[in-house]
């Protein structure tokens, strides 16, 4: 709105400089780009991210399998939890030695993180494995993929708006510097004693 008011105010003003009019036009173009281009870019990026993430989620869900594992014994220390989708804290997960059967039918044994506060021999818990029985992270679900896509689109829109505003500020800054340089040149041409003209000194 300030850009539109600026253009209207400077339309027929006798004190209007060309740089004032250009500055108002730059502000108006930046406003239109922020209102139109940023949402369009955000929706395009969000759509592309949604397609890619939903495809990745389907691939992960097809390649990863839930398997029931059996606790052999509890292990000493728990490493950092590498699954970003876990809703419980790391304190609720225990590192155990477990047995499980891979989707291809082979018996497996290894260290796993169990969602058990105090695991005992024979307790059962669920893990995710690939087709060969190696433990993998839980597959991405559709709702989480959509959330990530929305955040990507919103981030792209905000970055676009920030880039447009940054460009506008850079243009205005250069215009102001040029204006100050012209003023300095005008003062230099006027000379040091311009105010004493006709005083007899």
Stretch (H or E) spanning 2: helix 2-10
Other Cβ atoms less than 10 A from the Cβ of 147: the count is 12
Statement: the pTM of the whole predicted model exceeds 0.95: no
* The pLDDT of residue 80: 55
What is the rounded average pLDDT of the residues 157-184?
91
Helices (H), 36-141: 38-63
At 80-120, the pLDDT tens digits run 555 555 544 445 678 889 999 988 888 999 898 888 888 88
* The pLDDT of residue 87: 46
Cα 153–chain centre separation:
8
Give, as one character, the DSSP assignment of residue 135: B
What is the DSSP pairing of strand 107-114 with strand 124-129? unpaired
At 62-83, the pLDDT tens digits run 999 999 999 998 887 645 555 5
Instruction: Quote the radius of gyration of the chain (alpha carbons, Å).
Output: 33
Where b means 16+ CB within 10 Å and e means fewer, 18-35 reads eebeebbebbeebbebbe
| Residue 109, strand partner residues | 99
Stretch (H or E) spanning 103: none
User: What is the C-alpha separation between 123 and 73, in angstroms, rounded?
Assistant: 10
Q: Residue 16 contacts by C-beta under 8 Å, 6 or more apart in sequence?
A: 10
Contact 23, 175 (CB under 8 A): yes
């Amino acid at each position: 709105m300030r850009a539109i008011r600026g253009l209207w105010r400077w339309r027929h003003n006798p004190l209007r400089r060309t740089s004032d009019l250009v500055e108002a036009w730059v502000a108006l173009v930046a406003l239109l780009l922020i209102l139109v281009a940023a949402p369009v870019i955000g929706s395009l990026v969000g759509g592309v991210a949604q397609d890619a993430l939903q495809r990745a989620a389907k691939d992960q869900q097809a390649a990863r399998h839930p398997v029931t594992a059996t606790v052999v014994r509890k292990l000493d220390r728990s490493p950092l939890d590498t699954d970003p989708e876990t809703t419980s804290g790391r304190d609720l997960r225990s590192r155990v030695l477990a047995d499980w059967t891979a989707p291809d039918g082979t018996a497996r044994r290894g260290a796993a993180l169990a969602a058990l506060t105090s695991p005992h021999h024979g307790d059962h818990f669920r893990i995710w494995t690939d087709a060969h029985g190696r433990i993998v992270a839980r597959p991405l679900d559709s709702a989480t993929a959509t959330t990530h896509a929305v955040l990507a689109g919103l981030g792209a829109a905000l970055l676009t708006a920030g880039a447009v505003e940054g460009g506008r500020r850079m243009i205005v800054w250069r215009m102001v510097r040029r204006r100050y340089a012209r003023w300095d040149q005008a003062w230099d041409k006027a000379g040091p004693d311009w105010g004493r003209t006709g005083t007899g000194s």
